[in-house]
Amino acid sequence: MGGSPTKAPISYLNVREKTAGKDIGKVVLDPERALLVRETFRLYATTEYSLPELQSTMHAKGLTSPYAHMPGAPVSVSKLTELLTNPFYIGIVQWGGARYEGQHMALIPQSLFDRVQETLRARDVAGVRQRRHEHYLKGLLHCGECGRRLSHSLRASTCTSTAWGSADRRGRDAASPTSWPATPRRSLRTCIDRSSYLGRG
């Protein structure tokens, strides 16, 4: 499959050429951005850059978005992610759920593309872990009066009626006479004292 059925990705340009009297669409390398995009893949494969760091570094080197409203704007982090996962850069065109061997020039080798995909997968797993705020007592505390499991929400190191509280099966705060009365603040120590810790033998 020749060219690109849609707008060419960053580092390529859509052009029209007359061939045998026909107007044919082709994709050629963008001389302004091709080497910079290749450098983008190379740097990310080192695993030494986060996506925001890569964006900043490559913008400082001169990589700009050809589609931004403001000339000279950096490639957004979301577009950078699309760029790094696009097989177009290894000569593959995706269309209609299928992949075709493109007639355009590949920008990077398969080996570099594969290393970048591995880095993205590893960073994605790490990102999930970093975004979660797991408390070390999560799942281990039960209300000492009603027996329900205590749920936790991120707060400063205090425990309030909403930060640590039991809930009924419909997910609402328990309102039975046996549940903890709402108070302005409880220390985590108080919560532990008034709960059953399942880890104790």
CATH of the domain at 109: 3.90.1750.20
Q: Which amino acid is at 188?
A: L
In a domain, 127, yes or no: yes
In a domain, 2, yes or no: no
**Rounded distance, CA 71 to CA 61, Å?**
15
Q: Which two tokens stand for residue 174?
A: 């328990």
Domain boundary among 99, 131, 163: 131
Q: How far from chain centre, in Å, is Cα 156?
A: 27
Same domain, residue pair 27 and 117: yes
In a domain, 104, yes or no: yes
Contact 4, 24 (CB under 8 A): no
Check pLDDT > 50 for residue 124. Answer: yes
Same domain, residue pair 112 and 142: no
Same domain, residue pair 52 and 104: yes
In a domain, 3, yes or no: no
Domain boundary among 106, 131, 156: 131
Same domain, residue pair 198 and 151: yes
Q: In 3-110, where do the E strands start and end?
A: 12-19, 22-29, 92-95, 98-101
Number of domains in the chain: 2
Taking only the tens place, the pLDDT of each residue in 48-103 is 999 999 999 999 999 999 988 898 999 999 999 999 999 999 999 987 878 888 88
Question: Per-residue b/e over 160-175, b at no fewer than 16 CB within 10 Å?
Answer: beebbbbeeeeeeebe
Same domain, residue pair 75 and 156: no
In a domain, 27, yes or no: yes
Same domain, residue pair 63 and 103: yes
Q: How many CA atoms lie within 13 A of 153 on its CB side?
A: 7
Same domain, residue pair 35 and 111: yes
Domain boundary among 74, 99, 131: 131
Check pLDDT > 80 for residue 3. Answer: no
Same domain, residue pair 122 and 188: no
Boundaries of domain holding 60: 12-131
Per-residue pLDDT band at 13 (split at 50, 70, 90): very high
For the CA atoms of the chain, what is the radius of gyration?
Answer: 27
Per-residue pLDDT band at 120 (split at 50, 70, 90): very high
Same domain, residue pair 24 and 41: yes
* DSSP element (H, E) containing 150: strand 150-152
Average pLDDT, the chain: 75
CA dihedral 165, 169, 174, 178 (to 10 degrees): -100
Same domain, residue pair 23 and 122: yes
Same domain, residue pair 24 and 98: yes
Same domain, residue pair 143 and 91: no
Residue with tokens 């059925």: 5
